[in-house]
Structure 1
Amino acid sequence: MQFFSGNMRPFAPAAALFACLALAACQTAGSGTDITAIDTAQGSEENIASLTAVIERNPRDPQAYNVRGSAFGRAGRYREALEDFDTAIRLNPSYFQAYANRALIHRYLGESGKAVSDYNRAIQLNASYDAAYIGRGNLYRLNGRTREAFDDFQRAIQLDTTDPRAYHNRGLLYQAQGQHNFALEDFSTAISLAPDAAEPYNGRGLSYLALGDEENAFSDFNTAIKLDGDIAEGWANQALVYERRGEKQKAARSYRQALKLDPEYGPAKAGLSRVSG
């Protein structure tokens, strides 16, 4: 059954999806700050102290609370982030970026219902806010609501988003459906928008591998490891190619590295068992 007409590609619901792989995003248009655009370093104690000083000088400025809330979020101080986003919204009930940022914190806290409600409100306030569609789409994807997830990523892309997450996450949906040529296009676009991010290389490599293009797959997995050697998936993917080539010792070494990074990573556990046996 096709869900889309015209020039949209057909997509059917998936039984299972790949895990969430968030990418650093570019800031979207409009005033205010998107939490995904805050660099990790901006969650430092020094920066938060500086932002607190700004709030002390401007206690009625909703943007100041939104920015500090974003920094709290980057620092993993989620309850403090919520308080700042609550204040920003109370001072400016039309502050759509603050709703989207609060939604992300609710998601981190496992409060999916509240997260969807905030994303819905952000979109109601600004129907062209791509970050809200991407955030809500990823939440839908993780909860198995694949059709709605696809619709949201599609909408963000139709809005000419420059956020690589829209393409990366849509690529994961195509990949989960076995539509690997479409997935390759989306992963490649995500790479062009975020060339230093490892995740889309891992995604594209898996689709290359599914299409029998082992050489390009191996190249992508190696690039992913060079960009971020602390992601277990990259090592497990590299090991899978070694395993397919019959290089069991190299495969075992890469699988062990993946397990060193994430002792519970299932594909690495299974792979190491195969090559060790």
Structure 2
Amino acid sequence: MEWVLGVGAVALLIFFCAVAVAGYLVFDQVRGSRLLQEGYSAVQNGELNLATAKLAAALQRRLTKVDMSYAYANRAYCHYRLGRPSEALRDFDEALRLNPEITWAYEFRAAVHLNRGDHDKAFEDYSETIRRDPNSSEAYFQRGRIALARGDTALAVRDFRELVRLNPQEANVYVRLGEAQIQHEELHGALASFESALRLAPFHQLAPAKRLHVLRLQGREGEAAAGEAQALREVEERTAAQLSSPTLDATFKESYSLLQEGLAAARAGDHPRAIEYYRKALSGKLSAENVSEAYLNLGHSEVQQGEIEQAQADFERSIASDPSNVAAYLSRAELHERLGNHQAVADDCTTALLVDPNASWGYLMRSRAFRNLQQPRRALEDLTRAIKLKPPAVDNALNDLAWLLATSPDQSVRDGRRAVETAEQACEMTKWERAAYVDTLAAAQAESGDFGTAVISQMRAVALVEEIHPSRAGMEERLQLYREQKPYREELRSTTTTASAPVQ
């Protein structure tokens, strides 16, 4: 009997323990759900640090698999907004491992990858977002930008057309489509896109200049010149009207006038005075766009005065004030180029080209960086794209392309016949008066095996430079090579030098 009672007591104890455990688990799950809801509310209210703490506490409780996935996804979003990319990626990865159906998590994870410069992973996540949600404007926009930077112009045009479908009343999307169409050589379509943008926003900041650029690409110089003059008059009239408005803040008027005085002084070559005006303007009241322009122009004048470190700091302030200021990225890239920081040049140019894929100077500068980073094929791609855009210094781009085709250490890049054709174009555009261009032509002729003509061209190049010119010695060395029936090759470049020498 005692034995039976003992067994009964043990059974009863086990029962109560099971009830207690079950109660604890239910309580833990309820507490976890409550913390989860508090975390979601904090996210909605923008209290991101509080949300992170609540979601972390919820993840320590008993949650369903689905609840865990959303807890990780929301905490990842908080990390992203708080500038913690590594933590954001870790949590997005875990959220999508637990629940691959959270479409918005792919889009935000793509944004983290994009901010970290990992365009390939960003492209994959934006593509997955589009597959799951064909109406995601952000995914089409960002994937289109990446596609354009990669040179996949057909995909970029398709993505920006989808963007137009989703946002038919937004002028900026037509501008993006037009930029892609220029790259894809759909000039008629590009012109129509920019005109659509102007119908929606007659005073759009970029569309007028883009439209004029297309007219020039089409060879319609007269129309482009007339349009440029008209656009300038309209800008001057609008500026005068704004400054004369009685509702405009007097401090803003004064700062804007100082900014204009600085620009006038810089145009006159008086950079110390320009710097003084810019700094006074920045101490007053300006719009974010004007602040960015003021820092940009201040940096340019500081460069002229040899104040390189200060100029770099001001270019960075210009970018911080307006992250879409392409000229600021390219100006900072030029400073990096002076200092031999070739990867930084490539990075700044890449960012600028994501903002404006038709910024031809960005392709030219990045091509030089790629040459110095021992990536001649990427340099070739950039030079080819720059020339298609017909930049103001197209002769310089043609010469760079011909030099690369003639002298690259990468045999797969060299093309003597194309190098000769390209170099001749550059020489003809400058009436055969640029020694460097004739020097390039000689290298191209030597690469083609036409050493006799190369010797004649090189002698002409040498004759065009003074004896004390620093480039003359190299030209004379190449002349001797051609006489010996040897082509010229650039050495593989390190990331810190631009020196080159012939292959013996």
Deviates more, 1:233-242 or 1:177-186: 177-186
Counterpart in the other structure of 1:271 = 478
Counterpart in the other structure of 1:114 = 310
Out of 207, 224, 237, the residue aligned to residue 426 of structure 2 is: 224
Out of 337, 349, 374, the residue aligned to residue 141 of structure 1 is: 337
Counterpart in the other structure of 1:193 = 389
Counterpart in the other structure of 2:454 = 251
C-alpha contact (below 8 Å) 1:204/1:217 kept by paired residues: yes
Task: Tell me, in whole angstroms, the C-alpha distance in 2 between the residues paired with 1:87 and 1:247.
Answer: 57
Structure 1 residues 5 and 96: alpha-carbon distance in aligned structure 2, compared to 1, 3 A threshold: closer
- Residue 92 of structure 1: how far off its partner (Å): 3.8
Residue identity matched to 1:200: A
Task: Tell me, in whole angstroms, the C-alpha distance in 1 between the residues paired with 2:444 and 2:373.
Answer: 22
Greater relative CO, 1 or 2 (CA 8 Å, sep 6+):
1
Residue identity matched to 1:157: L
Task: Tell me, in whole angstroms, the C-alpha distance in 2 between the residues paired with 1:264 and 1:256.
Answer: 16
Counterpart in the other structure of 1:5 = 118
More helix by share: 2
Counterpart in the other structure of 2:221 = none
Aligned runs of 1:228-247 on 2, under 5 Å?
228=430, 229-247=432-450
Q: TM-score, normalised by structure 2?
A: 0.40
Would you say 1:165 and 2:367 are equivalent positions? no
Task: Tell me, in whole angstroms, the C-alpha distance in 2 between the residues paired with 1:212 and 1:138.
Answer: 27
Any stretches of 5+ residues in structure 2 without a counterpart?
1-115, 121-145, 150-204, 207-252, 485-504
Cα-to-partner distance string for 1:51-74 (whole Å, 9 max, x where unaligned): xxxxxxx986134224313423xx
C-alpha contact (below 8 Å) 1:85/1:98 kept by paired residues: no
C-alpha contact (below 8 Å) 1:82/1:102 kept by paired residues: no
Q: TM-score, normalised by structure 1?
A: 0.69
Cα-to-partner distance string for 1:169-204 (whole Å, 9 max, x where unaligned): 111122233323322221122212235521111222
Task: Tell me, in whole angstroms, the C-alpha distance in 2 between the residues paired with 1:221 and 1:180.
Answer: 18
Would you say 1:182 and 2:342 are equivalent positions? no
Task: Tell me, in whole angstroms, the C-alpha distance in 1 between the residues paired with 2:117 and 2:387.
Answer: 26
Task: Tell me, in whole angstroms, the C-alpha distance in 2 between the residues paired with 1:126 and 1:6.
Answer: 22
- Residue 148 of structure 1: how far off its partner (Å): 1.8
C-alpha contact (below 8 Å) 1:99/1:122 kept by paired residues: yes
Would you say 1:204 and 2:394 are equivalent positions? no
SS of the equivalent of 1:188 reads: helix
**Aligned-CA RMSD value:** 2.9
C-alpha contact (below 8 Å) 2:343/2:369 kept by paired residues: no
Task: Tell me, in whole angstroms, the C-alpha distance in 2 between the residues paired with 1:138 and 1:84.
Answer: 21
Structure 1 residues 216 and 247: alpha-carbon distance in aligned structure 2, compared to 1, 3 A threshold: closer
Q: Max radius of gyration: which structure?
A: 2
Any stretches of 5+ residues in structure 1 without a counterpart?
10-28, 31-57
Counterpart in the other structure of 2:272 = 82
C-alpha contact (below 8 Å) 1:65/1:84 kept by paired residues: yes
- Residue 221 of structure 1: how far off its partner (Å): 1.0
Residue identity matched to 2:280: R
Deviates more, 1:246-255 or 1:145-154: 246-255
C-alpha contact (below 8 Å) 1:130/1:161 kept by paired residues: no
Aligned runs of 1:27-38 on 2, under 5 Å?
none
- Residue 249 of structure 1: how far off its partner (Å): 4.5
SS of the equivalent of 1:198 reads: helix
SS of the equivalent of 2:260 reads: helix
Task: Tell me, in whole angstroms, the C-alpha distance in 2 between the residues paired with 1:198 and 1:131.
Answer: 21
Counterpart in the other structure of 1:17 = none
Between Structure 1 and Structure 2, how many residues are aligned?
224
Identity %: 19
